[in-house]
Amino acid sequence: MARKNPAFSEEDPLARASRVLKIMDRLDERHPDAGLARASRVLKIMDRLDERHPDAGVALEYRDPLQLLVATILSAQCTDERVNQVTPVLFERFPDAGAYAAAGVEEIEEIIHSTGFFRQKAKSIKGAAAVIMERFAGEVPQEMADLTSLPGIGRKTANVIRGGAWGFPGITVDTHVKRLSGRLGITDHTDPVKIEYDLNDLLPEERWFRFSSALIFHGRRVCGARKPDCADCTLTDLCRYYLEESDGI
């Protein structure tokens, strides 16, 4: 038989309910962002970002999963606009994984030169294509574990490919998502995988991909790394950074 706590066993039910409410109030005061409060704030942030950036999504141009994979590798430390200037030539020269795998790495380097870090990127593209040919019959794999086994493909890139190519739910934690989720006070973590899991817990699955895309667009257009443009932002009342900087709390 369960033993009762002697301190509470004689307590009047009403007194007990009132005591529990006081404890909850105190916890809310000490942790205003915990649990439901944070989740409801994130939902509001999501709706406002949707209004502000209705065009949010993958800005890279591609027609199939392999093209998206290659464009995503090229987009590291490079603007999407620059990648989109380079990829038409690249995609025409290398129409499938077999073509990249058979190419000399210098051929790829020459075309992608202007995207920066071209040696490493060319190596990753050729290496990923070779594994796709050897282990996946020439098709880009859909599973996270298979994708991240390819050279040059980390979890962030894999989420972009899975979401953009097949519509799988996933949160892409790039530099913008990391910065904004910290400033907004959505997460206290700095590790991308922990941030991803925090956001997974707070958002409905069908909004994961769209939310991270909207955060990326907001980071590029409004909440820049060096100086956030809070005067032009619709999230001020929901943003921890703004409230702290403006002594709003």
Q: Is 239 in the site for ligand SF4 (CB under 6 A)?
A: yes
Q: Is 217 in the site for ligand SF4 (CB under 6 A)?
A: no
Q: Is 118 in the site for ligand SF4 (CB under 6 A)?
A: no
Shortest distance, CB of residue 222 to ligand SF4, whole angstroms?
A: 5
Q: Tell me if residue 156 is catalytic.
A: yes
Q: Tell me if residue 174 is catalytic.
A: yes
Q: Give 228's strand partners.
A: 223
> What distance in Å separates the CA atoms of residue 154 and residue 170, rounded to the nearest whole number?
13
> What distance in Å separates the CA atoms of residue 192 and residue 142, rounded to the nearest whole number?
21
Residue range at the interface with ligand SF4 (CB under 6 A); choices 35-43, 70-78, 168-176, 239-247: 239-247
Q: Is 223 in the site for ligand SF4 (CB under 6 A)?
A: yes
Binding-site member from 183, 199, 202, 225 for ligand SF4 (CB under 6 A): 183
3-state secondary structure of 27: helix
Q: Is 141 in the site for ligand SF4 (CB under 6 A)?
A: no
Report whether 242 contacts 231 (CB < 8 A): no
> What distance in Å separates the CA atoms of residue 3 and residue 16, rounded to the nearest whole number?
18
Q: Is 185 in the site for ligand SF4 (CB under 6 A)?
A: no
Binding-site member from 110, 134, 205, 229 for ligand SF4 (CB under 6 A): 229
Residue 83, token pair as written in the block: 């990648």
Which DSSP symbol is given to 115? G
With a CB cutoff of 8 Å and minimum separation 6, the contacts of 105 are 122, 123, 126
Q: Pinpoint the alpha helices (H) of the chain.
A: 13-30, 35-52, 65-74, 80-93, 97-102, 105-112, 118-135, 144-147, 155-166, 175-183, 192-202, 208-221, 240-245
Residue range at the interface with ligand SF4 (CB under 6 A); choices 94-102, 134-142, 199-207, 226-234: 226-234
Binding-site member from 49, 68, 195, 222 for ligand SF4 (CB under 6 A): 222
Catalytic annotation, pick one of 4, 33, 80, 174: 174
Shortest distance, CB of residue 237 to ligand SF4, whole angstroms?
A: 9
Binding interface with ligand SF4 (CB under 6 A): 183-184, 222-223, 228-230, 233, 235-236, 239, 241-242
User: Annotated active-site positions, please?
Assistant: 156, 174
